[in-house]
Amino acid sequence: MLNALTTVLAAEGTHHEINHTLSWGIGGVILVIMLGLLLGLVSFGAGREHS
């Protein structure tokens, strides 16, 4: 119990700076990739008959 508490207190003491621009950029790239895959899936199935 004391070891876990010490670990939590030590983790609270460290602070890492987050680059929000990079985070938004990565999220935007992933969103574009996913939308492109979705568009490809919809266009591939557009000319096929439904079963």
pLDDT in tens, 7-22: 766 666 667 788 889 9
- Alpha carbons 42 and 24: distance in angstroms, whole number: 27
Residue type at position 9: L
- Its pTM stands at 0.59
Measure Cα distances from 2 to 12, 13, 16 in Å: 15, 17, 25
- Alpha carbons 20 and 26: distance in angstroms, whole number: 10
Mean pLDDT to the nearest integer, 31-47: 91
